[in-house]
Amino acid sequence: MRDFSTAMIKNKDRLNSGLGNLFTAIIIIALWQIASLHYNDIILPGPMATLKSLVNQLGDNTFYSSLLTSCVRLLTALALSIGLGLAFGLLMGIFKPVRYLLSPVIYILQSVPPILYMTLAMIWFGLNGRATIFIVTVVSFPVLAVNLCEGFSNIDPKLVEMGRSFQFSRSKIILSIIIPSLLTYLKSGLIIMLSLSWKLLIMGEVLAAGSGIGSLLTDARMNLETDKVFSLGLLIVIFCILSQLGAGKMVEHHDNQN
């Protein structure tokens, strides 16, 4: 009975959230339409012009080849970012001397403007996809590292002590106490990192790559195809949101299994 009530409450919350999101979207589209009536399509295309351009994009094979190129770069950068973020975060969280040693490095990396990294990447790697992968990796992985380190700092020592008093093995303490305590921080770190990675990926492709979705944006800008810029931007937002939701669901599924 309690499980049924909990499920009902969750479904109600999801319904309210969905209705709220729909209402917000309607307001944004209405304001967008009103604003577009006062400007030329080159300045601000309306929702219908953007939708038409979006449909054209989905029917163009060039879009899918560019999307594939961008996704390969993003996945490569994410694999590097997650690997480095987990390594730095775990080392900083478990060993305090390592935390004191690496914390300044992490904070320096986070303080450097991304455009400076982009400039250096273009000098080091040239105008290609490697520069984009570099900037996504070097800016994204500190986010995950800091979140995991913060998660270790906020593990309740009483829970660990209770596990020891019940003679839990070290592996059981890790699986039953430490990992569940870190999952919330891992989830938030992944979501922030994914959002940041998409933004950096597109910026890198616009500035330093001759392929990918960023390259399509550059071509649209040069041809004054503002509706195409809007439609590509809308697709990027959708991909970013879907990837964030997917990462959150994956971590939640792992948490529920535990």
Same domain membership, residue 71 and residue 171:
yes
Q: What is the pLDDT confidence band of residue 4, given thresholds at 50, 70 and 90?
A: very low
Q: What is the pLDDT confidence band of residue 143, given thresholds at 50, 70 and 90?
A: very high
pLDDT of amino acid 14? 61
Residue-wise DSSP of 78-109: HHHHHHHHHHHHHHHHH-HHHHHHHHHHHHHH
Query: Does residue 211 contact residue 69 with C-beta atoms inside 8 Å?
Result: yes
> Residue 218 is part of a domain; what is its CATH number?
1.10.3720.10
Report the predicted TM-score, pTM, of the whole model to 2 decimal places. 0.82
Range(s) of the domain holding residue 79: 43-257
pLDDT of amino acid 128? 82
Same domain membership, residue 51 and residue 15:
no
Number of domains in the chain: 2
Residue-wise DSSP of 171-206: HHHIIIIIHHHHHHHHHHHHHHHHHHHHHHHHHHHH
Same domain membership, residue 80 and residue 31:
no
Same domain membership, residue 49 and residue 132:
yes
Q: What is the pLDDT of residues 66-76, one digit of tens each?
A: 999 999 999 99
pLDDT of amino acid 245? 84
Same domain membership, residue 239 and residue 142:
yes
Same domain membership, residue 165 and residue 216:
yes
Q: What is the pLDDT of residues 161-211, one digit of tens each?
A: 777 776 676 777 777 777 777 888 888 888 889 889 999 999 999 988 778
Same domain membership, residue 88 and residue 66:
yes
Q: What is the pLDDT of residues 203-245, one digit of tens each?
A: 999 988 778 899 999 999 999 899 999 999 999 999 988 888 8
